[in-house]
Amino acid sequence: MTSSFMRRLTAIVSAGVAVTTIAKPARAQSGLESVIEQYSGARIQGYIQPLADALVANLSIGYINSATSPRKFSFSLEAVAMTAKISESMRMYTAATPDGFQPATHETSTIFGGPAQPVQHSTLPGISYRGADGLVDAEYFPTAAPQLRIGGLAGTEVVIRYASSSMVPFLEDEDFPDLTLWGIGVQHSISQYLKLPIDLSVAASLNSLKFGDIVDLSSTSFGVNVGRSFGLFGVSGGIVSDGGTMNLTYTSTDPDGAGSVDVDLDVKRSVRFRAGAALNFGFIRLFGDAAFGDIVSYAAGLRLGI
């Protein structure tokens, strides 16, 4: 290998080590844990479902830099940030009140909603019930991770993504439990087999995200991409199908369902259209990605590599 190659490789590895070694102190119980344990397994779904939807929308993008996979060996480190737009429909939900309460349901905040208001019993003065405030006050819900990309494997590119709490500075100790995120994405060139005027590839990803011992989310995505490069500039587009499951394991203090809770929240598989662009400066590439569907999410990243 040339000394230039080694210098670049050293720079890439050093950057990766720098990103992954920012330490944080141990955490106490977070706001997310505190709110989840107030709800029974039956009641928690409406509050937390928008978080599951936003996370799956985030995790399924950011893997695609271009619609083709390089034929020769390539290696790069990337920093990618994804963010999902929080729509108004993700801020409120129809929640069940305690068994026997009138009214039997009320409109209250999800995790992305505002302050909750107590609901008064319709015939029993002095009896009332309140849900939790929304925990996150944001137009967009972000996720970020460094990722390692290896290409040139028979027209296949593999991306490995990993992040923990120490790498995501906007998730504070007192709000979210320890985060562990990993993912693997694969993109395989179809245009290498066909004579086409554009690049064509298929892609898939598998992602896992955990918040402490309470939240365990897994998601998958697969899709087809087309694109083309014009010198420094490349564009791509395609369709992506994503879905997943969020498992919650905790001890509820809800009198209507106190005790151990182990519940799966389904994130319904949806099809979204994606569009991306990249600016390629050789060792450095800037890329952006957006997926449009039930949830709109965006990704942007910086790639350092050969």
Partner 1 sequence: MRALKNTALVVLVAMSGLAAECFEITDPFVVAVNVKDIKNTYNVTPGTITFVPGCITKNPADYIDSNFDIANGAQLVDIIVQTTGTFAGNINGGQVRIGGSTQALQVLVNYSGPWSAFNTPQSLLQNSTGLSLNQAGVTTLLSLIENTSPIVICHSGAFSQAATAGMAIDISIFAQVNASP
Which residue, 116 or 190, has its beta carbon nearer to partner 1?
116
| Residue 273, CA distances (Å) to 18, 68, 196, 251 in order | 35, 18, 22, 39
Among 45, 65, 69, 83, indicate the residue that binds partner 1 (CB under 8 A).
83
CA dist., res. 97 & res. 74, Å (int): 56
Stretch that binds partner 1, among 49-57, 88-96, 99-107, 156-164 (CB under 8 A): 99-107
Kindly state the tokens that stand for 206.
């598998």
CA dist., res. 130 & res. 234, Å (int): 51
Which residue, 169 or 196, has its beta carbon nearer to partner 1?
169
Which phi and psi (to 5°) does residue 5 adopt? -60, -45
In terms of Cα–Cα distance, which of 39, 132, 130, 52 is closest to 86? Answer: 52
| 22 binding partner 1? (CB under 8 A) | no
CA dist., res. 230 & res. 292, Å (int): 24
| 41 binding partner 1? (CB under 8 A) | no
Which residue, 116 or 240, has its beta carbon nearer to partner 1?
116
Among 144, 145, 200, 267, indicate the residue that binds partner 1 (CB under 8 A).
144
For residue 103, cis peptide bond before it (omega within 30 degrees of 0): yes
| 114 binding partner 1? (CB under 8 A) | yes
Least distance to partner 1, CB of residue 10, Å: 16
Which residue, 233 or 266, has its beta carbon nearer to partner 1?
233
Among 148, 158, 254, 290, indicate the residue that binds partner 1 (CB under 8 A).
254
CA dist., res. 123 & res. 127, Å (int): 9
Number of residues this chain uses to bind partner 1 (CB under 8 A):
55
| 103 binding partner 1? (CB under 8 A) | no
| 28 binding partner 1? (CB under 8 A) | yes
Report which residue type is found at 131: G
Which residue, 56 or 135, has its beta carbon nearer to partner 1?
135
Among 25, 125, 197, 231, indicate the residue that binds partner 1 (CB under 8 A).
125
Contact 97, 108 (CB under 8 A): no
Among 259, 268, 284, 292, indicate the residue that binds partner 1 (CB under 8 A).
284
CA dist., res. 163 & res. 23, Å (int): 13
| 261 binding partner 1? (CB under 8 A) | no
Among 10, 253, 271, 273, indicate the residue that binds partner 1 (CB under 8 A).
253
| 105 binding partner 1? (CB under 8 A) | no
For residue 177, cis peptide bond before it (omega within 30 degrees of 0): no
| 29 binding partner 1? (CB under 8 A) | yes
| Collapsed DSSP state (helix, strand, coil) of residue 20 | helix
CA dist., res. 98 & res. 230, Å (int): 61
Report which residue type is found at 185: G
Q: Which positions lie near partner 1, rule CB under 8 A?
A: 28-31, 33-35, 38, 79, 81, 83, 98-101, 114-116, 118, 121, 124-142, 144, 169-170, 172, 174-175, 253-255, 281-284, 286, 300, 302
